[in-house]
Structures are given as structure tokens and as C-alpha cells.
Chain A
Amino acid sequence: MITWAEFKEIFVNGTWRQNSSLVQMLGMCPLLAMTTSLVNGAMLSLATIIVMGSSGFVVALLRNFIPYEIRIPVFILIAAVMVTVVDLGMNAYMHDMYNILGIFIPLIITNCLVLARIETFAVKNGPLQAMFDGAFMGLGMLWTLSLLGAIREFIGTGTVLSGIEAVIPGLHQIEVLPADYPGFLVSILPPGAFIVLACMVAAKNWYEVKAAERAKRQPPAPISAAGCH
């Protein structure tokens, strides 16, 4: 069904090489709205992982029955159903988390990343591959959005992990900076998301350039791109 090499390739693509936020720059709306804190960013990404994995799986399963000309409505239909299922499921069984993410779960359908992966990957690959692709794309989103949220939250309010108590009861936010830290509000507002994201993209590109230079300097070393993250 799926080989180890394929799995590794999909993993590296989703989490690093084709990272949805840092490389493809998709799904900017949730990125802007939900990364005001680490917890928010991570939770929304988790929901996205479920939606993307399942819709990728279903589309790949049915791909031979979907005519070309009506593929878009069908994709949207499938993704929307998956989103609604996740929405209902979370509402029923993870109500606390649903309270935080409630209004953003239905918005996952507007995340162009979902449709983009279906259109470019799921329709051309097997169900398992498509599921992993969706999940790992979401995983890539998870770590980037978490990091983005953490940075914005830290600069903006001087705390880390605010809102964690809604996810894991008993844990509390950590106030890193002294209480009289005035807060740097731009960081929490949408422009801050753009600025921090730009810095992250710059850091990634800088790393890639350096890595390429290193690879060029020692050509005999076998390059395993998969190993870098």
C-alpha cells in the first residue's frame, strides 16, 4: 500500500520542504486569526490535521469516480463534510476545546491548503498516501503555527501557553516577563503575524541556503534531505 520511502518523502514534504505556511504560503486566514497564542495555533492545526487526513483519504478512495469537470464541487463537498464531522465530534466529545476553537473549525473549509492538497495530491495518489499527505501537511502547519503563536504571544503579552488550562486542566500559563511588561500589541494583531511569519520564512530560507552551500562544499557526502528535520 505504502512504502517506507514514500512515507518518508510525504513526511518531509509536509513538515519541511513544502511546508504549508513557510513555503506554500497557504491558509493565511487561520494563520492570521488564530496564532495569537501557542495553544490556539496548535489546537486549530490539530483540527486541520484531522480534516485534511480524512478528506485526503476519502478523495483518494473515490478519485476514479469523480469526473474532471465537477471535481471542485465534489472536493469541497467532501472537505465540508469532514469539517462538519470534526465540528460535531469536537462539540460532542471535546466540548472545552470546542469552546475555544468553535468558530474557527467551520473556517477550516476556507483554508485553501485543504483544497490545494486534494487537487494536487489526493487525486493522483492512493488513499493511504493521501491520508498521510494531509496529516503531515497539517503537522507542518502544527509546528509552524505553534511556533508562530508562541513567538507572538511572548512578544505581545510576555506569557507562554496561555489558555492551556482549557486543553489540559491543571496546567497554567507561564508568565515569562515581569507583570509590568506593557505588551507589544502589534505582535498579537494581524500585522504581527505577517512580520513574525516573514522572519520565520527568512530564517528557513537562510538555513536552506547555508545547507546548500555546505552540500556544495562537500559534494561526496550523501545528501539525505529527509534527515534534516
Chain B
Amino acid sequence: MSMDFSTPPYLLKNASVTRVMTQVLLALVPAIAVYTWLIGPAILIQIAIASLAALLGEALMLKVRRQPLAPFLGDGSAIVTAWLIALVFPPLAPWWMVVVGTLFAIVVAKQLYGGLGQNPFNPAMVAFAVCIVSFPALMSQWPNQALHLGFADQFQIIFGLTPRLDALTAATPLDALKTGLKLGEGQVGVAALLANQDVYGQFAGRGWEWITLCYLLGGLWLWQRKIITWQVPTAYIGALAAISGALWLYDPAQFASPLFHLFSGGAMLGAFFIATDPVSGSTTPRGKLIFGAGAGLLTYLIRVFGGYPDGVAFAILLMNICTPLIDLYTQPPIFGMKNGK
């Protein structure tokens, strides 16, 4: 049956989905290293939990869908999703929440839509959205860095072996800033709040600013390797910087600087690793610009005016919805048709 036609070209470039995914993982490694160093080894535990859960969920669904296991488990896409989930979840999130999020991402957001390449939404962001909606309290508890917890402590907290004391956790810098501004009711300015070095560090979240810088470097490496194109990150960062800059210039007391917004929360991770996901994102050159800019803009709006601590996940999910429309209206002109039409 399959033998009655030939399939040129016979020469093929040395490329595969696995190679693409492996390079994405490699680009995340420096950020993970800095994360481990600054925040603690909890992230490594979370990555392990999420990867296991992702592979398990993937294998289960592939069996149910009667698909071969080897090529799809080996393509690395589930691992990428797992790592991203681990990186966007609070590092001290209980293990079961990471498992629930990962399974939801793989089973519902990816496999139920047809598996690799078919998901309209970024699975990692779906996991984040589901968990922050379902477990808002747990999803906004970030490690209190003043405590300097070791591996054993973090391990015990993640697996529920020691009680989760309120003192162990704190809000993210973004959340803390928002609450601070709200409580201050116009009396306390951004500058005063940011002066607290224990929470905000040099220019964004304490410790987090260096991790986000690593995301930026990893992203630039991906661009250099031609795994991603320049459009989405540029538009994302540009839009986020533009709107935060404009409002910051308008009232620096009530709105944080672009630098703070770019280097806190998941902005850089979103710009280089999540919004660039080709499956759920736009694919045309102009479409990518619109997609990135939209995501950047929404990120800011949700962060500053919305009810959730960070807006990256919802912004990207919202833009995922628009992808088909964007692609439809941004088809590039083809060879020979640039002038006429």
C-alpha cells in the first residue's frame, strides 16, 4: 500500500522534532541553574515531578488513542511542557498540584485535542490557568527568601511532610506591589515599596531578576540557533515596555517602571519560550508581531488592572484564541504577487 509511490526529496536536512525540543530544553538550563542557586533546589524537585507526570500522562493518553509510544514520548515536547510548568509554578507548590496541573496540560490541553502539534492552547499555560483558578491560595505562595531553606526543608514542604506555615511563604513581587499600592490607597508610592530590598532586590523581584535575565540569554541563543524568530519576543517585550513606560512616565508613583515589569514574573519566559510556541501561536511574520504585541499588552493590563498576580499565562492563552484569525489576515504575499495585489 504505502510502497507504490516515491517520495522525493531523497536528501533531507538533519532536523527533527526531538532536536528542536532538546535545544529549547538546553536554553532553559542556565536559568534553572541560577534558580537553583538563588531560590533553592526545590525547582529541581518540581522539574522531576512535572517531567514524570508529563511522561506518564502522555504514555497513558497515547495508549488510549492507540498511538505508538516511542516516537511521541521521544519527541521531547512533553518534557518541554513539564519544565515550563515547573518554572511557572511556585517552587514550593505541593507535589499534587504540580501533578494535577501537568496531567491537565498533557491529557486535556494536548492529547484530547489530538496530541503533538494539534493543541490550540499552550499546555503549560493551561496548567497554570487551571491551577491558579482552582487553588489561588497555593498558587500565590512563593518562598520567603529571608528563610534560606535547604533541600531537605523544601523537599518536605513540597511533599507535605512538614506543615505549610504562613511564614514560609510570601507573595510574588508583582503581587506584593499590587497589594501594597491598593492598601496604601494612593498614599504609598511605588518607589517607597520598591525600596524594600528583601522583596524587590536590585530592580525587580529579589533573585528573580537574575533568573529572568537568564531566560533572556537562553532566548537569544534559541534565536541564534533559528529555533525561534525575532518577531514574537521583540513585539512582546516592545509592547510591554511601551505601555508600562507610558504609564510610568505618566505617574511614576502609581506605576512601576518598564524594567520592573520586564524582569519580574514570567515576562521573559513568556516572551522567549511560551509565546514563541509555534503550535499555538501565530506563524506568519506579521502575525507574529501582532501576536507578541497583543500578548505583551494583555500581560501588562492583567498584571496592573486584573485580579491575578501575573498576566503572562492569561495573556498568551487569550492570544492563542486569536491565532487562527491573525494568521488568516496576515498571509504574506507570495512570489510574484507583491506588487499587483
Contact = CB atoms under 8 A, between A and B. Distances in A.
Note whether A and B contact each other (Cβ less than 8 A).
Answer: yes
Interface stretch (B133-141, B149-157, B252-260, B286-294): B133-141
B130 interface: yes
Contacts of A185: 133-136
Nearest to B100: A184
A82 to B, nearest CB: 37
A199 to B, nearest CB: 10
Nearest to B137: A182
A182 B135 CA distance: 7
A182 B138 contact: yes
B242 interface: no
Interface in A148-188: 182-187
A90 interface: no
A183 B134 CA distance: 7
Contacts of B135: 182-185
Nearest to B136: A185
B108 A186 contact: no
Interface residues of B, number: 8
B113 to A, nearest CB: 11
Nearest to A187: B134
Contacts of A187: 134
- A182, A183, A187 pick with most chain B CB within 10 angstroms: A182
B108 A189 contact: no
B134 A195 contact: no
A186 B133 contact: yes
A187 to B, nearest CB: 8
Nearest to B94: A182
A189 B133 contact: yes
A184 B135 CA distance: 7
B108 A184 contact: no
A182 B133 CA distance: 12
Nearest to A188: B134
A188 to B, nearest CB: 9
Contacts of A182: 135, 138
A182 B108 CA distance: 21
Nearest to A198: B112
Interface in B95-134: 100, 108, 130, 133-134
A186 B138 contact: no
A195 B112 CA distance: 11
Contacts of B130: 186
- B108, B133, B134, B138 pick with most chain A CB within 10 angstroms: B134
Interface string B136-177: 101000000000000000000000000000000000000000
Contacts of A189: 133
A158 B134 CA distance: 13
Interface string A29-46: 000000000000000000
A219 B78 CA distance: 44
A189 B138 CA distance: 18
Contacts of B138: 182
- A183, A184, A187, A189 pick with most chain B CB within 10 angstroms: A184
A191 B130 CA distance: 9
Nearest to A195: B108
Contacts of B108: 195
Nearest to B131: A186
B89 to A, nearest CB: 15
18 contacts: A182-B135, A182-B138, A183-B134, A183-B135, A184-B100, A184-B134, A184-B135, A185-B133, A185-B134, A185-B135, A185-B136, A186-B130, A186-B133, A186-B134, A187-B134, A189-B133, A191-B133, A195-B108
Interface of B: 100, 108, 130, 133-136, 138
The list of the 3 closest CB pairs from A to B, nearest first, reads A185-B134, A186-B134, A184-B134
Given A184-B100, A184-B135, A186-B130, 13 more contacts: A182-B135, A182-B138, A183-B134, A183-B135, A184-B134, A185-B133, A185-B134, A185-B135, A185-B136, A186-B133, A186-B134, A187-B134, A195-B108
